Amino acid sequence: MENKLLVLNMKMYMDIDDVNNYIKKVNNLSSNVILCPELIYIPYFINKYDNIAIQSIYPIDNGAYTGCVSAYHAKKIGVSYAVVGHSECRKYFNLTEEDVNKKVLSTLNNNLKVILCIGETLEEKNALKTKEKLKYQLDNDLKGVNSNDIIIAYEPIFSIGTGNVPTNSEIYDTIEYVKKVLREKGLNLKVIYGGSVSSKNIKELSTISNVDGFMVGKSSSIPEEVLEMEKLLRS
């Protein structure tokens, strides 16, 4: 259990006062924690914590791309991971699978590790199309990829921010399937679960044997929650 990853996806939850408070309170994290601060706060986090992820990148190294940030520049300031294809980015920025694939490739080309998010909608789950959707995403998002520097975050879209978490056996089965698809591609990757994870359920979820860790949204922006989840995961 000690080795499970904890990916803290802080989204756009914190203002600068929250950030200062967070940095004061959240100390002594294990090397299995990856922090994903809002973009403008990365310089506040980077000298204090081991593993920093950027929440999104633009898949070109540099040039006239106003409002964009490249994996190349993230790497140069010491970022070590990039989140790619989070369902909120897919939705708000209208990302296609081809866009996601370009981001994966650009991230890897710049020697950053990828946290690739995949997941099905409730409609797809109810139509028994979970596996089909996940395979479609993996086939397209990982086109031309031959690297184990990737973590897959399985995040059912209906579980994000809703408290509607699949059962342990559903998560187990889905992750088994994802790992099988990855093995068929010659990839041996960690697969983590995300969607309404908090200190209330992380212990129970960590009993799922094939889950390699968790991606946490809302609770990751609350220092007390982070410290409690770390304690529960490492105990």
The residues annotated as belonging to the active site are 86, 155
Q: 129 vs 218, which CB is nearer to ligand PGA?
A: 218
Q: 58 vs 154, which CB is nearer to ligand PGA?
A: 154
Closest CB to ligand PGA: residue number: 217
The correct pick among 8, 171, 216, 222 for binding ligand PGA (CB under 6 A) is 216
Q: How many chain residues are in contact with ligand PGA, going by CB under 6 A?
A: 12
The correct pick among 59, 85, 119, 194 for binding ligand PGA (CB under 6 A) is 194
Contacts of ligand PGA in 10-69 (CB under 6 A): none
Report in angstroms the alpha-carbon separations of 96 from 82, 103, 190, 218.
Answer: 18, 11, 24, 26
The correct pick among 118, 197, 205, 233 for binding ligand PGA (CB under 6 A) is 197
DSSP 218: G
Torsional class of 85: left (φ above 0), alpha (ψ -120 to 50), beta (otherwise): left
Q: 145 vs 202, which CB is nearer to ligand PGA?
A: 202
Least distance (Å) from ligand PGA to the CB of residue 76? 26
Q: Is the dihedral of CA 166, 168, 170, 175 positive or negative?
A: positive
Give the residue among 12, 13, 59, 10 at the shortest CA–CA distance from 35.
10
Q: 72 vs 214, which CB is nearer to ligand PGA?
A: 214
> Tokens at residue 12, please?
């756009």
What is the pairing mode between strands 150-154 and 190-194? parallel
The correct pick among 152, 191, 215, 233 for binding ligand PGA (CB under 6 A) is 215
Tell me, residue by residue from 154 to 193, as one string, x for binding to ligand PGA by CB under 6 A and - for no binding. Answer: -x----xx--------------------------------
Strand order in the sheet with 190-194: 33-36, 5-9, 213-216, 190-194, 150-154, 113-118, 81-84, 53-54
Rounded CA gap, 203 and 161, in Å?
18
Q: 43 vs 161, which CB is nearer to ligand PGA?
A: 161
Question: Is the Cβ–Cβ distance between 119 and 90 less than 8 Å?
Answer: no
Q: Which residues bind ligand PGA (CB under 6 A)?
A: 9, 155, 160-161, 194-197, 215-218
